[in-house]
A and B are shown apart, each in its own frame.
Chain A
């Protein structure tokens, strides 16, 4: 069974709002998400996926940043949660580093019911 991506029900609205102000950052962070997802597709265990653009947050949440993008970019965080059992990579939210505390709390609220189901 291959890995798949699944967006949270609020991801699109967060993404729309974010890219209006930070288009380059959005592209850079999505490129890094693609790199992460390809590592999963190639059989890597999420625990072993490590690079400068990946930050390990509480409860298995990962934050992907904009590193590697062109120019001086705003510190960005794209929040994801890899569910190895179901082989689903949840793409939860996106925001700047400034908003990370609130964003992580929101991500935790999103994944808790998923963990209970699993």
Chain B
């Protein structure tokens, strides 16, 4: 079977022994993590550069430029406008560089509790919504428990280096629904 690669960089490492060439490509790719993500968001939304330009109230050329700009040259204003045009919200996160992965898991656990508490508070006084929130909380408990059980079984001691910039995969409602369906199927199995 032919070799397969999970990234362009891995593919080129296999094609050449020239380390300088690989490094210059890696530097270029890493310098455009955000603009590449914006491009992916637009394509996923099935929008043309013209569509985005109309929503941003700018020229198609400006959209094209944003999609090929190095991350250090992008402005927050452009990012907010672009995200809004493709129906996404820009979220900026700050995290302590000393934060370990374990700290991040704890952080998400606390965020989860806060969100569920907030949801319960908002539902208070409306029996139907209160019941919906209670059912959802039970469902979340089941899914998270099964997910964590799986993680316990696969637990490894791998320590990965922390890059100075992390561009997370965009989260859409379709992703949440897909994961939710997958978790339900796993639980049923």
- Docked Cα-Cα span, A41 to B4, in Å, equals 15
Nearest CB of chain A from residue B170's CB, rounded to whole Å:
7
| Residue among A2, A4, A67 with most chain B CB within 10 A | A4
Given A15-B15, A27-B25, A31-B29, A6:B2 Cβ within 8 A: yes
Query: What residues on A are CB-neighbors of B41 within 8 Å?
Result: 42
Given A27-B24, A51-B49; A38-B40 close (CB under 8 Å):
yes
- With A44-B44, A91-B11 as contacts: A38 and B36 at CB distance below 8 Å: yes
Q: Which residues of A contact B166 (CB under 8 A)?
A: none
Q: How many residues of A contact B (CB 8 A)?
A: 36
Q: What residues of chain B lie closer than 8 Å to A50, measured between beta carbons? A: 43, 48-49
In the complex, whether B186 has a CB less than 8 A from a CB of chain A is: no
* Closest A-B pairs by Cβ, 7 of them: A44-B43, A42-B40, A4-B4, A34-B8, A39-B40, A68-B68, A5-B5
Q: Is B37 an interface residue (CB 8 A)?
A: yes
Fill in one digit per residue for B10-35: 1 if any A CB lies within 8 Å of its CB, else 0: 11101110000100110011001000
Beta-carbon contact of A30 and B12 below 8 Å: yes
CB distance from B48 to the nearest CB of A (A): 6
Residues on the A chain within 8 Å of B36, using CB: 34-35, 38
